[in-house]
Structure 1
């Protein structure tokens, strides 16, 4: 997932729009800009109302009057906010105030010098640090080391932050800034270098150093040959690593904390951004299919694995894999651990929280027909099936018969790899289970 390009206004060029005669550089005292007492007095008197009218999330803690343009009627102020980053404010007659964060107004101009709206109040001495609460609100861990303004659109302002340790992020806030508004923080890796929104405080090589940290915690014994960023979701970032021994992995990182989540072998990583590109994924998949064949057979489910698919697992010690067997309609859901495994066929897998996608439900008809024989219902050739649901101990299946006569409900124990039907009900008896029978020939007339 990559962000769309966003058109930005020329917010960083704000000082160019101010007549040079209006604002003169402040005098200095002991190497620091001096703040005129009268300018501060006027600023504290006039600026709070301007800030309130702008809608910014700012309680004015300090302010100074900068100057005015008699021709346009505009007045210029700097304000410091108790909540964090301050602003340069432009008050115009018969128009809404314009606010620019101190990171924007203090950015060097084309000649390398600061413009007339640069922030000099003591409360605005470190505007980059004021981005920390915004980053924290987005749930991202970052010890802000450096920051810069990227620009603003009509609704949003964009900043870059560089974190200690090499990570970097683009921070999107409301414009004007308001901590109560929406905040979005994305890794710099999501943005193409040179785009209208991109990172300059950290480079790609520095940003990818995080992969070395993930590799150290992965336990894969991978001597990294190459690495790349793959994609990000709302909760996770994914990186591919190619190892010196020919193996490869996708490393999943929790985006909010930067913590290592799991290592996905390239043979199982086809669901992540098209899979691995720096290693031979086909060879890895063939090798994995052979491994799953052995593991499934050992678990009592003979299957020459032709195709497999990884399913989400909340337990990092368990692999949940759907299996399709070569030359057979049989399939199943396997749960493998370091000590063994269990394989559910595609019917009983649904009782245990999984669903097959490689195997069609028609392949279960013969098995269900045979199960009915155990209840002396050999006349019913199963023609349709519906899983009704399950409780802590039993799962229920509705079947229809090919002769059009009313079908039946079979109950199977859950948590058992090869369960035998333990209960047999008519649709009348099963009214209270999963909403009752619903297959067309089984609907109970009221």
Structure 2
């Protein structure tokens, strides 16, 4: 028999990419940082005379001076942010908004931060089309930049108090995705090949997940499957995966197996196939249905025709009866 490889996890692993941010966004946030810490209205970047000639440059400088001279009206700022969300077809019930400054590109458009009711907030650039990046992604980028170079300049980050509980937002994502465990840690992993943000969820004492949200809702992929397709799960240990697989065995012929190692082999029309090693006993391959109920157990000694046989257990082939 042949066993088909899981394709979805392969697509994620192959397409996973690190998200990058607009330099204009980073500069605007950097300019506003000191003012935000002091509770002041950030000032726009100055454009020195002569850098861009003609009336356009004069109008731009005048706009910058006007913006720097007076703090923005909170109601006006909120309305401007809501208009950007509408233009970008992004859902956010804005609870607070602030003007960060002007973008660092030639357009010199406004850059804002917004807090959303019950959800992560965003940094928004009022360009055409608008640029919107959520605070969870920004936090992930900042952590990755610090890990790569602790001496690097500070990365863009959200500063409104309502946008600070990043782990809270991430754990809420895991709940929305239907992750059936006690979540102990979550992080952004990158983007899948279809552009969706991929998150890794760690589970206390159990197999973790990759989750992503698409147009139809959340999807989750067990780390057992992710690892089987050359991905990685930083928050899941082999012991946690073994414990999860062992929880599927009661009532089956493999119930006595004290599971030590597991390997997802693949699937066919009959179900999923998982290899296990058992402490003090022969390893086995189990076939599970979609509800993870064991349908059949194959001892490694006689399972050479099941997806190439056992790899975790070294065993001699069964002897052929003499005729």
TM range (shorter): 0.5 to 0.7
Q: Specify the alignment match of 1:22 in structure 2.
A: 31
Q: Specify the alignment match of 1:161 in structure 2.
A: 201
Matched ranges for 1:199-214 at <5 A: 199-204=233-238, 206-214=240-248
Q: Specify the alignment match of 1:119 in structure 2.
A: 158
1:250 matched to 2:286: yes
Q: CA deviation at 1:185?
A: 1.5
2:132 to 89, 99, 113: 99
Q: CA deviation at 1:48?
A: 1.1
Q: Is the 8 A contact 1:24 1:116 kept in 2?
A: no
Q: Specify the alignment match of 2:186 in structure 1.
A: 147
Q: CA deviation at 1:60?
A: 2.1
1:52 to 65, 81, 86: 86
Q: Specify the alignment match of 1:80 in structure 2.
A: 115
Structure 2 gap ranges (5+): 1-5, 43-70
CA distance in 2, matches of 1:232, 1:88: 43
CA distance in 2, matches of 1:17, 1:225: 49
Q: Against the structure 1 CA distance between its residues 252 and 237, is the aligned structure 2 distance closer, same or farther, given a 3 Å change threshold?
A: same
Q: Against the structure 1 CA distance between its residues 254 and 45, is the aligned structure 2 distance closer, same or farther, given a 3 Å change threshold?
A: same
Q: CA deviation at 1:222?
A: 1.8
Q: Specify the alignment match of 1:189 in structure 2.
A: 224
1:230 matched to 2:269: no
Counterpart secondary structure, 2:137: helix
CA distance in 2, matches of 1:146, 1:234: 34
Counterpart secondary structure, 1:50: helix
Q: Against the structure 1 CA distance between its residues 251 and 9, is the aligned structure 2 distance closer, same or farther, given a 3 Å change threshold?
A: closer
Cα deviation per residue 1:174-229 (whole Å; 9 max; x = unaligned)? Answer: 4xxxxx6443221223335997x643333555444423444567562123454323
Q: Is the 8 A contact 2:243 2:259 kept in 1?
A: no
Hey, which of these two has a bigger chunk of strand by percent? Answer: 1
Q: Against the structure 1 CA distance between its residues 11 and 249, is the aligned structure 2 distance closer, same or farther, given a 3 Å change threshold?
A: closer
Q: Is the 8 A contact 1:15 1:116 kept in 2?
A: no
Aligned Cα RMSD in Å? 4.3
Hey, which of these two has a bigger chunk of helix by percent? Answer: 2
Q: Is the 8 A contact 1:266 1:276 kept in 2?
A: no
State which structure, 1 or 2, has the greater radius of gyration over its C-alpha atoms.
1
Q: Specify the alignment match of 2:100 in structure 1.
A: 66
Q: Is the 8 A contact 1:88 1:119 kept in 2?
A: yes
- How many pairs does the alignment contain? 271
Q: Provide TM-score, normalisation by structure 1.
A: 0.49
Q: Is the 8 A contact 1:224 1:242 kept in 2?
A: yes
Structure 1 gap ranges (5+): 175-179, 288-325, 327-446
Q: Specify the alignment match of 1:261 in structure 2.
A: 293
Q: Is the 8 A contact 2:198 2:212 kept in 1?
A: yes
